[in-house]
Chains A and B, each alone.
Chain A
Amino acid sequence: MKTVANAAVLQQPALNKKKKNFQPANIVLWVLLSFLAVLQIFPLIWLLDFSLASSNEMFTSGLLIWPKQIRWDNYVSAFVDGHFLLYFRNSLFINVLAVVLVLLLSVMLSFACTRMHWKLSGLVKGLILLGIMIPIHATLLPNYVIYDRLHLTDTLWALLIPYIAFSLPQGLFLTSGFMESIPREIEEAAMIDGAGIYRILFQIITPMLKTSLVTVSIMTFLNNWNEFMMASTYLSSPKWKTLPFSVLEFTGMYSSNYAVQFAVMALTAAPMVIIYILLNKQITRGVAMGAVKG
């Protein structure tokens, strides 16, 4: 069922061919595929396993262990001392906000650059697209000086602004590519009905961009979710710290207790793993759009 649904999503109606003819070669194939799967997943299982053991058991040989006593309290320490809830909330809030603003700005920009008539449109678009090539960390040092002067360090803005700025070029790229393929007749009809530019953009065009917006959202979210260099340089109080800090702070706090460190890693990884498993189909589709459009 799943594959059929996916195929439909990917506009691939003709997938119901016979694919189940078992040959010896297929067994080799299965073994290789499974080996690759183990390679990708085993480190995570290892992580989970030792996060439930006690620290000394780390030093036993063997790949996985059956903990003498399942130490749920590792997770309690991780949850409480890792400020899990606060940091998770911050991460979610900042990332969702960044995604929403990136979507809004990209749609506005790409409409202005692909539809509206003005002299500088090509230049502006080209300039912003150049941003795809600019590494975010190259702005780490000068941005620190700027934010410090403007008293933005240790505020939400110190993260939000660079996160938006560095996702915007990609957003513009994807949405404008898509927008160009939308026939202009639709707008003309709306115009005759008396709709203004803003209404055309937000009520007619934007909904038609849905698939590319999903792609932009996923890419923006995944990129910024991982970021912590900016966060650790610009933030000092726990108020806006993001989820990676649970891990970063723990190595100092519990330097001698590996099991608790493992627990905090597993805990930090959990939200995204769960989100991914739940939204597997949508994410795959989102990435798919990105792949096709480049």
Chain B
Amino acid sequence: MKKLLSIALATSMALSLAACGAPASSTASSTAPAADSASSTASSAPAESAEPVTIKVFSNLPDRTTGQGLVEQTIFDSYMAANPNVTIECEELDDAAYKTKFKAYAAGSQMPDLVSVWGQPGFIDEVIDAGLLAELNPDDYKDYGFVNGSLDGFSADGKLYGLARNTDMAAFFYNAKIFEDNGWAVPTTYDELLALADKAKAAGVAAVSMDGADKWPLAVYLTDLMEKVDATGVMTKNHDAITGKDFSDPTYTKACELLQQATTAGLFQPGYETADYGTAKNLFTNGQAAMFYMGSWEMSMASSEDIPEDIRNNIKVFTMPTVEGGKGTATDISAWNGGGYSVTASGAQKEEAIKLLNYMFQPDQWTRIAWENGVCMSAQDFSKFATGSETQTQKDLMNIFAAATNLSGTPLNDMGTSQFKTVCEDSVQELAIGKIDAAAFLDKLTTVG
């Protein structure tokens, strides 16, 4: 393994030297591979007579024609145009398949060079511990405008191992036309939200479209409720509960009960526990559901040509309403930095991959393109790209985020080990459909935590 690694390193070093004609001084630093990250400047000028380089990318964005996948592809294309010697080979899978395949890669020895990661303990901790990710140089990103704390999840022991792609926020997207036609008001309390279930039924639509088959949205929903019950320190609470194997804090029981109330009231569409992401989204975008509970990246619905015009122009946003007796206010929201990228330590093109990564996150790349296309809020300062001509959906989300007084941080399911994640997600689904009660749910978390 070691030998292989050093050969790979030596090759990539040689290649990168040839590629950008780096000064001789950097050759010396190559003896300390881990601490050495590539020269920060992305080579925007085409290098002459450069060796051909193939960077292997493994991405969780299979849809390359809309949304984040389009943004990623756009950047790859422009990078390849600027660096004719570079070929980017991208393998894409959707989230669930991605995570499985990533682990298979991790167990093997031939990892791609640049990979999608989640800066959350449930995903990244084991990977960093095993030394699979290359260390990045934080100084490279001083001027990149990353939001304070957004890179914390990608760091361990003061070292940086990845960059956050987005600032994610859990939200209810709602069809303003359905609300208007039926005379519904945006709910300000959880009870009002639950009351919409019956009204929706009467109107012949589902109230909230929920992706219950993938399970994690339910865990996010639960975390969202915790935020409303307790407002501060949800992430710390989760961390302590998992490491201390103690879920006796009443916040948990309360949030669990609130989640179950949603099912009892019929808030989510029938059969939501088997509806996957696409199904849940399609219900909403076809006007079969009044609301859709999902992350802020779905703002891209508003600019998607695939969605009927009278729906996409009427998508507005609100966040989890306050709960009775809860300490959280309307502006305490559930938000976190999840998805991002890392360069693998053993990849054949480590240095080239770092250059590509640095290029992707130059402020006028991912952040600008994502915002201008109404795709998502990056983890960097995107406000300077605001033009005022954004979609209503985008504006809503931006305003909510700007007004936020407290952010929940990483959702519960992603705070522990992979095993914790599996158990937590399986059982939060069972909890939601009422197969087990709050006590049994917390018991399962305690056993595995």
Beta-carbon contact of A251 and B94 below 8 Å: yes
8 A Cβ contacts from A206-228 to B: none
* Docked CA distance A165–B195 (Å): 60
* Docked CA distance A75–B308 (Å): 21
* Docked CA distance A151–B108 (Å): 10
**CB proximity of A59 to chain B, nearest CB, Å:** 5
Contact partner, A255, options B64, B104, B278, Cβ 8 Å: B278
A153 within 8 A of B: yes
B236 within 8 A of A: no
* Docked CA distance A258–B278 (Å): 9
Contact residues in A for B101 (Cβ distance below 8 Å): 232-233, 236
Number of A residues, CB within 8 Å of B: 25
Contact residues in B for A248 (Cβ distance below 8 Å): 97
Beta-carbon contact of B277 and A145 below 8 Å: no
Beta-carbon contact of B63 and A255 below 8 Å: yes
Contact residues in A for B308 (Cβ distance below 8 Å): 56
Contact residues in B for A249 (Cβ distance below 8 Å): 62, 92-93
* Docked CA distance A58–B93 (Å): 25
A23 within 8 A of B: no
Beta-carbon contact of A253 and B63 below 8 Å: yes
**CB proximity of A108 to chain B, nearest CB, Å:** 33
8 A Cβ contacts from B98-113 to A: 101, 104-105, 107-110, 112
Beta-carbon contact of A255 and B281 below 8 Å: yes
Beta-carbon contact of B110 and A148 below 8 Å: yes
Contact partner, A233, options B63, B104, B109, B278, Cβ 8 Å: B104
Kindly list 17 other residue pairs between chains A and B, CB separation below 8 angstroms, not including A233-B101, A255-B278.
A55-B282, A144-B107, A144-B108, A148-B107, A148-B108, A236-B112, A237-B89, A248-B97, A249-B93, A252-B92, A253-B63, A253-B64, A254-B63, A255-B277, A256-B278, A256-B307, A258-B282
**CB proximity of A135 to chain B, nearest CB, Å:** 19
* Docked CA distance A251–B96 (Å): 12
Given A56-B308, A258-B282, A252 contacting B93 (CB threshold 8 A) = yes
Given A149-B109, A237-B91, A257-B306, A232 contacting B97 (CB threshold 8 A) = yes
B286 within 8 A of A: yes
B288 within 8 A of A: yes
Contact with A along B78-101 (1 / 0, CB 8 A): 000000000001011110010001
The 7 sampled A-B contact pairs (Cβ below 8 Å) are A55-B282, A56-B308, A144-B108, A145-B108, A248-B97, A253-B63, A256-B281
Contact partner, B108, options A56, A153, A237, A258, Cβ 8 Å: A153
B393 within 8 A of A: no
